[in-house]
Structure 1
Amino acid sequence: MYREIQFTDLSKDLLEQLQKGGFLTVKSGDEVNTMTIAWGSLGFMWTKPVFIAMVRYSRYTYNLIESSKNFTVSFPLNGQLQKELGICGRKSGRDTDKIKECDLALREGSIEDTVVIDECDLHLECTTVYKQGMDESALAPEIRDKYYADGDYHVLYYGEIVKIYTK
């Protein structure tokens, strides 16, 4: 059973789990892909609760999120799905149906063209309200050198959190 919760009720669990990994899932037409994320941000902007997801240009998910207006983020809060987070962080949706390989169950979201990973405990359904590619000239050199030596930068997707719920 799912229970809707308020934005202010989720921050502690979400931020603790984000460092361990969550699933960013995008549906575009008939295509669905999920990828592991461990970077992101939670905040309040433009009078809206917002989750900022980072997707590199080189990722298969980038193509899907660019053609979709919505995305979801699902977090396993009880230590489950560690193997699946590893697979979805290492493999590309270009070559592998990660949903099938990991035997993950998808559940339709409540906003248009969204799905969540049903085995997770906390879900955010988001509508992209702003996106911005990183400007390498604005990045601290030590971060650029450590995380972007190959020039594969992120696009930041600011998603208005339309719905939040837990199992």
Structure 2
Amino acid sequence: MDFNTNIFEQYDKKWALLTAGDKNSFNTMTISWGGFGTIWNKPVATVYVRTNRYTHEFMDNNEYFTVSFYPEDYKKTLGVLGSKSGRDMDKMKDSGLTPREVENGMTFAEAEVTFVCRKLMCQPLEPSNMNPDIAEQFYGKEAQHDMFIGEVVEIIR
């Protein structure tokens, strides 16, 4: 598996879709926090999901998830997918994206690259363990994030 990029821009500048579930029931959301690296001698992707997000339920209930990145002209679509909840509407219907089943998950035909990840760990990010300025800025009145670490088992281009 090879993947070459400016790793610091991948999540922050391009954004991504985090998707969990299968062709019968899945949800996706836009993420701009995350990372790639190694832990436990495995290549991993790390993503963060607020506990009150609909996608969190799918992350909890599935062994795999995907992280997919898109060309710049999909940024508006990703903005909508990150601001609307699949609990309240069919986000896929209006997104213009084409769901694509892959082994162990779902992605979209328009993705430039998709990382298929096997969930290894979920850990709450406790505001009491953070720098107080960060805790106040990001969690004053908001639900906390859980950190998910997934082993990258496949890269699809």
Identify the TM-score tier after normalising by the shorter chain. over 0.9
Matches within 5 A, 1:9-158: 9-12=3-6, 15-20=8-13, 21-27=15-21, 30-76=24-70, 78-110=71-103, 112=104, 114-158=105-149
Contact between 1:23 and 1:117, CA under 8 Å: does it hold in 2?
no
Give unpaired runs (5+ residues) of structure 1: none
Contact between 2:121 and 2:148, CA under 8 Å: does it hold in 1?
yes
Structure 1-normalised TM-score? 0.88
Question: How far apart are 1:118 and its partner, in Å?
Answer: 1.3
Structure 2-normalised TM-score? 0.93
**In 1, Cα distance between the equivalents of 2:99 and 2:64?**
16
**In 2, Cα distance between the equivalents of 1:151 and 1:121?**
32
- Aligned-pair identity in percent equals 35
Question: How far apart are 1:55 and its partner, in Å?
Answer: 0.5
Contact between 2:44 and 2:152, CA under 8 Å: does it hold in 1?
yes
**In 2, Cα distance between the equivalents of 1:89 and 1:36?**
4
Contact between 2:19 and 2:67, CA under 8 Å: does it hold in 1?
yes
- Aligned-CA RMSD value: 1.5
After superposition, the Cα gap between the structure-2 partners of 1:52 and 1:69, relative to the gap in structure 1 and judged at 3 Å, is same
**In 2, Cα distance between the equivalents of 1:29 and 1:64?**
13
The amino acid across from 1:122 in the alignment is V
**In 2, Cα distance between the equivalents of 1:34 and 1:24?**
5
